[in-house]
Amino acid sequence: MILIDNHSRVPIYQQVKEQIIMLINTGVYKPNDQLSSIRNLSKELDINVNTIKRAFAELESDGVVYSVQGKGVFVSENPLGNENIAMSALKDVATAVTSAKAMGVTKEQVKNLVDNIYEAGESDD
Amino acid sequence: MILIDNHSRVPIYQQVKEQIIMLINTGVYKPNDQLSSIRNLSKELDINVNTIKRAFAELESDGVVYSVQGKGVFVSENPLGNENIAMSALKDVATAVTSAKAMGVTKEQVKNLVDNIYEAGESDD
Amino acid sequence: MILIDNHSRVPIYQQVKEQIIMLINTGVYKPNDQLSSIRNLSKELDINVNTIKRAFAELESDGVVYSVQGKGVFVSENPLGNENIAMSALKDVATAVTSAKAMGVTKEQVKNLVDNIYEAGESDD
Amino acid sequence: MILIDNHSRVPIYQQVKEQIIMLINTGVYKPNDQLSSIRNLSKELDINVNTIKRAFAELESDGVVYSVQGKGVFVSENPLGNENIAMSALKDVATAVTSAKAMGVTKEQVKNLVDNIYEAGESDD
DNA sequence: GTGGTCTAGACCACA
DNA sequence: GTGGTCTAGACCACA
């Protein structure tokens, strides 16, 4: 259910984080559902255990999941209630847009790009 | 004329690159103008010489400036003609926006952010 | 597999760049193959790490290779698609030939030289 | 009579050398003719005296000119008899062509370039 | 272990 | 004085 792009510049732990959030966003995972175990995910995706651990640790500190020792990792009651997730993503957008503006990119070019990205997934909503 | 944020995640050589492009964008530096020498910038900004050199080397390979041994570094005839600069900046925006979308950020939030960033410099144009 | 001439006027990072391109040209390295790590090459060739890094950084900005943090450096899908590489090499040839012409070298002398250089590698193809 | 391109990557002393050889090649300067003085050339071309001195010193060591203390610099009896001039120019061509070959440039591309360069000056011969 | 950034400092070519 | 190359070594992010 999770696809990793090894060629991407986006860190793998980040890709794992994003895809789990997306699975929650789309209702595949619901509150208190148990996620795949760290070791299972590590085997399935052929990713180092430490990389999965980091993704889960950050999801937990963002309040998206909670872990129960000896049981596993579960989706929180209100997984997307924490605004920090969106905020940190927006901060990255701000950095990239500010830089693009400095490089001579116009507002229209950026907005067209944003439209394209959001339209791409329209059929999924 | 150049301001460096040592705490930023954006590499210093990248900040130097962007600010020089911005100075050209705003007409402060014109084609064939000589830039501050590498050593002067290094002293003024209190940055290692090699960091400035890297910024200048990338600007040169992007066609923004040209260097003449023993003379100095000068703005190219057509400094912003190379589309690669804008393209690579746009690619970074695409990555950040895609990620933000996955994190639950709405199209409106992104667009508002873009507006704010572009309006910020409106008085300078 | 890479030979460096320390006495040559050609910068070492340039020699490394050219030889890696040659290894790709001759099919030794194929798309998505992983290159020797920066540290390994540095030890093997007894060259400073930063010199290798510069060669790799330029190869990456030319689109010949891509790097993945924590993984390594890999050959691009279309490593020789970027015409800039050939173009900048041709520019250097133009400069040298123009100068030779001014020095009284005849067209025949230049062409014989070119034939010799291209025949040298004929047995390798 | 001498034109310097400050934007060129070719060192200025090299440009001065080449142009003086060209003036001899085309018969403007004949054996035992006196060249412009170093100081005159320096003023005319707005080039540092040391740069002209270096050009003249290399021309003398190549046997193209000879200097007489207190009198000036003169064209040698057999200014282009020294094969070293052509040889060193050919060496530079060899370096550039070898590099271009490594970068994937074909023999035909190089030969076309050579033809273009030699045809360009055909009307001058 | 892998690449990325940065510093400090040496030596060279050119003007 | 100006840029160009190279070395040695530190510290960080990621896997």
What is the pTM (predicted TM-score) of this model?
Answer: 0.85
pLDDT at position A7 is 80
Q: How large is the C-alpha radius of gyration of chain A?
A: 17
A109 vs A86, higher pLDDT: A109
pLDDT(C56) > 90: yes
Model confidence at B125, in pLDDT bands (50, 70, 90)? very low
CA-CA-CA-CA dihedral for C29, C34, C40, C44, to nearest 10: -10
- Would you call A11 and C69 a contact, using CB atoms and an 8 Å cutoff? yes
Model confidence at B85, in pLDDT bands (50, 70, 90)? confident
Rounded Cα distance, C20 and C28, in Å: 9
- The answer to whether some atom of strand E lies closer than 7 Å to the beta carbon of C70 is yes
Model confidence at A125, in pLDDT bands (50, 70, 90)? very low
pLDDT at position A121 is 64
Q: Position A52: which residue type? A: I
CA distance A122 to chain C (A): 30
Distances (CA, A) of A58 to A69, B41, B103, C59: 17, 40, 13, 34
Model confidence at A6, in pLDDT bands (50, 70, 90)? confident
Residues 65-124 (B) with a CB less than 8 A from some CB of C? none
Model confidence at C12, in pLDDT bands (50, 70, 90)? very high
Structural contact between residues D90 and C93, judged by C-beta atoms closer than 8 angstroms: no
Say if strands C65-68 and A72-75 run parallel, antiparallel, or are unpaired.
unpaired
Structural contact between residues B120 and A102, judged by C-beta atoms closer than 8 angstroms: no
pLDDT (mean) for B71-83: 89
Q: Which of D7, D10, D51 to mutate to test the interface with B (most CBs of B within 10 A)?
A: D7
Return chain B residues 78..97 having CB < 7 Å to nucleic acid strand E: none
- Mean pLDDT is lowest, of A59-63, A109-113, B114-118, C120-124, for C120-124
Rounded Cα distance, B1 and B28, in Å: 10
Q: Position C65: which residue type? A: V
pLDDT > 70 fraction of chain A, expressed in percent and rounded: 96
Closest chain B residue to the Cα of A124, Cα to Cα: B102
C49 at interface of D, judged by CB pairs closer than 8 A: no
Rounded Cα distance, C47 and D12, in Å: 32
pLDDT(C21) > 90: yes
pLDDT > 90 fraction of chain B, expressed in percent and rounded: 67
pLDDT(B9) > 70: yes
Of B97, B1, B82, B86, give the one whose Cα is nearest residue B41. B1
pLDDT in tens, C72-124: 999 999 888 777 788 888 988 998 999 899 888 999 999 999 999 999 866 54
pLDDT in tens, A43-89: 999 999 999 999 999 999 989 999 999 999 999 998 877 778 888 88
Closest chain A residue to the Cα of B105, Cα to Cα: A86
Model confidence at A122, in pLDDT bands (50, 70, 90)? low
pLDDT(C125) > 60: no
DSSP output for A89-115: HHHHHHHHHHHHHHTT--HHHHHHHHH
- Would you call D6 and B71 a contact, using CB atoms and an 8 Å cutoff? yes
CA-CA-CA-CA dihedral for C92, C93, C96, C97, to nearest 10: -150
Of B54, B76, B41, give the one whose Cα is nearest residue C13. B54
Rounded Cα distance, C30 and C40, in Å: 19
Of D1, D48, D53, D8, give the one whose Cα is nearest residue D28. D1
B16 vs C80, higher pLDDT: B16
Return chain C residues 24..83 having CB < 7 Å to nucleic acid strand F: 47-51, 54, 68-71
pLDDT(B89) > 80: yes
pLDDT (mean) for C48-52: 96
pLDDT at position D123 is 53
Of A27, A25, A26, A49, give the one whose Cα is nearest residue A37. A49
Using the C1' atom of nucleotide F15, identify the protein residue whose alpha carbon is closest.
C70
Which residues neighbour A3 within 8 Å (Cβ) at sequence distance 6 or greater? A19
Query: Among all strands, which nt has the closest C1' to C66 (CA)?
Result: E3
Rounded Cα distance, B48 and D36, in Å: 45
pLDDT at position B122 is 63
pLDDT at position D125 is 43
Q: Residue B79 corresponds to which tokens in the numbers above?
A: 């400094």
pLDDT at position D122 is 62
CA-CA-CA-CA dihedral for A13, A15, A19, A25, to nearest 10: 100
pLDDT at position C43 is 94
pLDDT (mean) for B5-16: 91
Rounded Cα distance, D57 and C35, in Å: 47
Which residues neighbour B12 within 8 Å (Cβ) at sequence distance 6 or greater? B4, B6, B47, B51
C39 at interface of D, judged by CB pairs closer than 8 A: no
Mean predicted lDDT score pLDDT of chain A: 89
- The answer to whether some atom of strand E lies closer than 7 Å to the beta carbon of C58 is no
Rounded Cα distance, A68 and A64, in Å: 14
pLDDT(A91) > 50: yes
Q: For C47-82, where are the alpha helices, taking DSSP H only?
A: 49-61
pLDDT(D80) > 90: no
